[in-house]
Amino acid sequence: MIDSSLKDIAAALRAKRISAVELATDSLARIAAGNPRINAFVTVDRDGALAAAAAADARLAAGTAGRLTGIPLAHKDVFCTEGVLTTCGSKMLANFTAPYDAHVVSLLKQAGAVMVGKTNMDEFAMGSSNENSHFGPTRNPWNTACVPGGSSGGSAAAVAARLVPIATGTDTGGSVRQPAALCGITGIKPTYGTVSRYGMIAYASSLDQGGAFARSAEDCAALLSAMTGHDPRDSTSLERDAEDYGRDLNQPLAGLRIGVPKEFFAEGMEGDVRAAVDAALAEYRKLGATTVEVSLPNARLAIPAYYVIAPAEASSNLSRFDGVRYGHRAADYTDLMDMYCKSRAEGFGGEVKRRILVGTYVLSHGYYDAYYIKAQKLRRLIADDFAAAFRQCDLIAGPTTPTVAFGIGEKSDDPVQMYLGDIYTVAVNLAGLPGLSHPAGFGKGGLPVGLQLIGNYFSEARLLGAAHQFQQVTDWHSRAPQS
Ligand code: GLN
CA 89 – ligand 1 centroid, Å? 14
CA 13 – ligand 1 centroid, Å? 37
Mean pLDDT of 298-313: 97
Note if 76 is an active site residue. yes
Q: 129, 130, 151, 414: which to mutate for ligand 1, most atoms within 8 A of CB?
A: 151
CA 291 – ligand 1 centroid, Å? 29
Taking CA 446 as the corner, what is the angle to CA 444 and CA 447, rounded to the nearest 5 degrees?
Answer: 80
Is the minimum distance from the CB of 399 to ligand 1 under 6 angstroms? no
Note if 175 is an active site residue. yes
Does residue 10 sit within a domain? yes
The closest residue, in CA terms, to atom 5 on ligand 1 is: 173
Distance CA 265, CA 397 (A): 11
State the pLDDT at residue 131. Answer: 98
State the pLDDT at residue 456. Answer: 98
Is the minimum distance from the CB of 174 to ligand 1 under 6 angstroms? yes
The 10 Å Cβ neighbour count of residue 455 is 25
State the pLDDT at residue 288. Answer: 98
Distance CA 395, CA 286 (A): 17
Report the side by side order of strands in the sheet with 41-44. 41-44, 114-119, 72-76, 166-170, 210-214, 186-189, 435-442, 448-455, 395-399, 257-261, 290-294
Distance CA 400, CA 436 (A): 9
Q: Using one digit for the tens of pLDDT, what is the confidence trace for 191-215?
A: 999 999 999 999 999 999 999 999 9
Q: Using one digit for the tens of pLDDT, what is the confidence trace for 65-123?
A: 999 999 999 999 999 999 999 999 999 999 999 999 999 999 999 999 999 999 999 99
CA 190 – ligand 1 centroid, Å? 16
Express as a percent the part of the chain with pLDDT over 70.
100
For residue 439, the SS3 value is: strand
Residue 483 has pLDDT above 90, yes or no: no
Is the minimum distance from the CB of 125 to ligand 1 under 6 angstroms? yes
Q: Taking the mean position of all CA atoms in its chain, how far away is CA 241?
A: 23
Distances (CA, A) of 464 to 187, 275, 468, 470: 10, 23, 6, 10
How far separated are the first and last CA of the chain, in Å rounded? Answer: 17
Distance CA 86, CA 134 (A): 13
- Under a CB-based contact definition with an 8 Å cutoff, are residues 149 and 132 in contact? no
SS3 of the chain: CCCCCHHHHHHHHHCCCCCHHHHHHHHHHHHHHHHHHHCCEEEECHHHHHHHHHHHHHHHHHCCCCCCCCCEEEEECCECECCEECCCCCHHHCCCECCCCCHHHHHHHHHCCEEEEEECCCHHHCCCCCCCCCCCCCCECCECCECCCCCCHHHHHHHHCCCCCEEEEECCCCCCHHHHHHHCCEEEECCCCCCCCCCECCCCCCCCCEEEEECCHHHHHHHHHHHCCCCCCCCCCCCCCCCCCCCCCCCCCCCCEEEEEHHHHCCCCCHHHHHHHHHHHHHHHHCCCEEEEECCCCHHHHHHHHHHHHHHHHHHHHHHCCCCCCCCCCCCCCCHHHHHHHHHHHHCCHHHHHHHHHHHHHCCCCCHHHHHHHHHHHHHHHHHHHHHHCCCCCEEEEECCCCCCCECCCCCCCHHHHHHCCCCCHHHHHHCCCEEEEEEEECHHHCEEEEEEEECCCCHHHHHHHHHHHHHHCCHHHCCCCC
Q: 123, 172, 418: which to mutate for ligand 1, most atoms within 8 A of CB?
A: 172
Is the minimum distance from the CB of 378 to ligand 1 under 6 angstroms? no
Does residue 329 sit within a domain? no
Q: Which of 19, 27, 90, 175 is catalytic?
A: 175
Mean pLDDT of 164-185: 98
Does residue 289 sit within a domain? no
- Under a CB-based contact definition with an 8 Å cutoff, are residues 227 and 209 in contact? no
What CATH number should be reported for the domain holding residue 72?
3.90.1300.10
Does residue 25 sit within a domain? yes
**Residue 143 parent element (H or E):** none
Does residue 394 sit within a domain? no
Kindly give, in sequence order, each residue whose CB lies less than 8 Å from that of residue 322, ignoring residues fewer than 6 positions away: 340, 343, 344
Q: What is the number of structural domains in the chain?
A: 1
φ, ψ of residue 398 to 5 degrees: the values are: -175, -170
Q: Are strands 186-189 and 435-442 parallel, antiparallel or unpaired?
A: antiparallel
Q: Which of 151, 155, 237, 315 is catalytic?
A: 151
Is the minimum distance from the CB of 429 to ligand 1 under 6 angstroms? no
Is the minimum distance from the CB of 175 to ligand 1 under 6 angstroms? yes
State the pLDDT at residue 242. Answer: 86
Q: Using one digit for the tens of pLDDT, what is the confidence trace for 422-470?
A: 999 999 999 999 999 999 999 999 999 999 999 999 999 999 999 999 9
Distances (CA, A) of 390 to 102, 334, 385, 468: 34, 58, 9, 21
Does residue 232 sit within a domain? yes
Note if 411 is an active site residue. no
**Residue 331 parent element (H or E):** none
Is the minimum distance from the CB of 89 to ligand 1 under 6 angstroms? no
Mean pLDDT of the chain: 97
- Domain interval for residue 123: 6-251+434-440+448-478
Does residue 359 sit within a domain? no
Is the minimum distance from the CB of 308 to ligand 1 under 6 angstroms? no
Is the minimum distance from the CB of 128 to ligand 1 under 6 angstroms? yes
State the pLDDT at residue 266. Answer: 85
Does residue 98 sit within a domain? yes
Q: 267: pLDDT confidence band, cut at 50, 70 and 90?
A: confident
CA 254 – ligand 1 centroid, Å? 35
What is the number of the ligand 1 atom nearest to the C-alpha of 176? 8
State the pLDDT at residue 175. Answer: 98
Q: 161: pLDDT confidence band, cut at 50, 70 and 90?
A: very high
Q: 122, 128, 306: which to mutate for ligand 1, most atoms within 8 A of CB?
A: 128
What is the number of the ligand 1 atom nearest to the C-alpha of 203? 9
Q: 337: pLDDT confidence band, cut at 50, 70 and 90?
A: very high
Mean pLDDT of 375-379: 98
CA 194 – ligand 1 centroid, Å? 19
- Under a CB-based contact definition with an 8 Å cutoff, are residues 424 and 399 in contact? yes
- CB half-sphere exposure, 372, CA atoms < 13 A: 18
